Every structure is written in structure tokens, then in C-alpha cells.
């Protein structure tokens, strides 16, 4: 099956700094990727839809200036958490759909655990 990777798998940063998380589709091209956030014992909350070559679409309540998304190629989307605060500590997961395969399955990356101190 299709593989999605994320880097880093975990990161600790100080409050006020910025952190970039990469999401890559390893063996397929993804015109659309999705970014989710998951707090402990809660479900995945969709943050934004990342579209290759265009601006991301953010969900209501998600600050686009704080969570910068760039989808510069068909295999890479990045999420940058700017001016991170402890409340941004969470599990960030990306997913992608292999449109060319005709499959409706959404492939998830392994997630990035962010801790802001």
C-alpha cells in the first residue's frame, strides 16, 4: 500500500519558537494532503486541507497565521507551528489520498508528537 512519512517523529521546543513538520508521500503523488491534530484521549481534529500549488483551506477556529501550511510539490506538505505555546503540544498527523489509484483510502503518516516547554 501507499506510504506516508512524517518528520520528525517527535520534537521538543521552547515556547515562542517555530517548528516545521514535514509530510511526504513516498510512492505516490498527492495533490491533496490533510493535517490533523489529536490531543490525548481525543479524536483527530481536522486542521486544514493542503492543496499542491495553492493556498491551504483551514477549518473554522484554526489560525492560518499560526499554522503555516506549504504544499510545494506533489509529494511534500509542511506544517509550521509559529510562536509555539504549551497549549500547542499535541500529536500532529498528516494524511494523503492517492488520487491516481482510484482508491478512496486515506493514508496516514505516523504522526509527530510536539511538546512545547
> Which residues lie near other proteins (CB under 8 A)?
32, 34, 36, 42-46, 49, 57, 91, 93, 95, 97, 104-111, 113
State in angstroms the smallest separation of the CB of 51 from other proteins.
9
CB burial string 24-56: b at 16+ within 10 A, e below:
bbeebebbbbbbbbeeeeeebeebbebebeeeb
> CA 74 from chain center: how many Å?
14
Identity of the residue, 8 or 110, whose beta carbon is nearer to other proteins in the bound complex: 110
Identity of the residue, 9 or 15, whose beta carbon is nearer to other proteins in the bound complex: 9
Identity of the residue, 18 or 42, whose beta carbon is nearer to other proteins in the bound complex: 42
In 3D space, the residue among 83, 55, 67, 69 whose CA is nearest the CA of residue 23 turns out to be 69
State in angstroms the smallest separation of the CB of 44 from other proteins.
4
Amino acid at each position: 500500500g501507499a506510504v506516508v512519512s512524517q518528520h520528525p517523529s517527535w520534537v521538543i521546543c521552547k515556547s515562542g519558537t517555530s517548528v516545521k513538520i514535514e509530510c511526504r508521500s513516498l510512492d505516490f503523488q498527492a495533490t491533496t494532503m490533510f493535517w490533523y491534530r489529536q490531543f490525548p484521549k481525543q479524536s483527530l481534529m481536522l486542521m486544514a486541507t493542503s492543496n499542491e500549488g495553492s493556498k491551504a483551506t483551514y477549518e473554522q477556529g484554526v489560525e492560518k497565521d499560526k499554522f503555516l501550511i506549504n504544499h510545494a510539490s506533489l509529494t511534500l506538505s509542511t506544517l509550521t507551528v509559529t510562536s509555539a505555546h504549551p497549549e500547542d503540544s499535541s500529536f500532529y498527523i498528516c494524511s494523503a489520498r492517492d488520487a491516481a489509484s482510484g482508491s478512496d483510502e486515506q493514508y496516514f503518516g505516523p504522526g509527530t508528537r510536539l511538546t512545547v516547554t
